[in-house]
Amino acid sequence: MYDDNNIFAKILRKEIPCKPIYEDDKVFFFNDIKPQAKIHILAIPKMPVTDYNDFISKADNEMIKYFFDKINEVAKGQGLINSGFRIVTNNGKDANQEVPHFHFHILGGENLKGIK
């Protein structure tokens, strides 16, 4: 079940600060507080969904396409299309998901060898 008090829910409600990259009524992108690469952005849908499984079960096709298109737009805006980038999501316990609001990590800005 979705926990309204998770840290990304608080960020969405502007109860705690972050460094925003892009926001509209459907999605929010902001910098990871502990970046694993020169560019490390978190992409979240504005839906109460805990993980990838929850998102893909509840979001309609329009939202899924919208989310992935925005990830690409943000990657483009960061100059990552030519240099390359990684998108990754941790789903659940064995993936060590820390924050139970579904998110993708967008990593880039340097060679990602050795970076998870």
Q: What positions carry a catalytic annotation?
A: 103
Where does the chain have alpha helices with state H?
A: 7-12, 52-58, 61-77, 80-83
CB 67, min distance to ligand AMP, A: 16
Select 72 or 97, whichever has its Cβ closest to ligand AMP. 97
CB 77, min distance to ligand AMP, A: 19
Per CB under 6 A, residues contacting ligand AMP are 7, 18, 32-34, 42, 90, 96-99
Select 59 or 102, whichever has its Cβ closest to ligand AMP. 102
- Kindly list the strands in the beta sheet with 20-23, ordered across the sheet, starting from the edge strand earlier in the chain: 20-23, 27-31, 39-45, 104-108, 85-88
3-state SS assignment for residue 40: strand
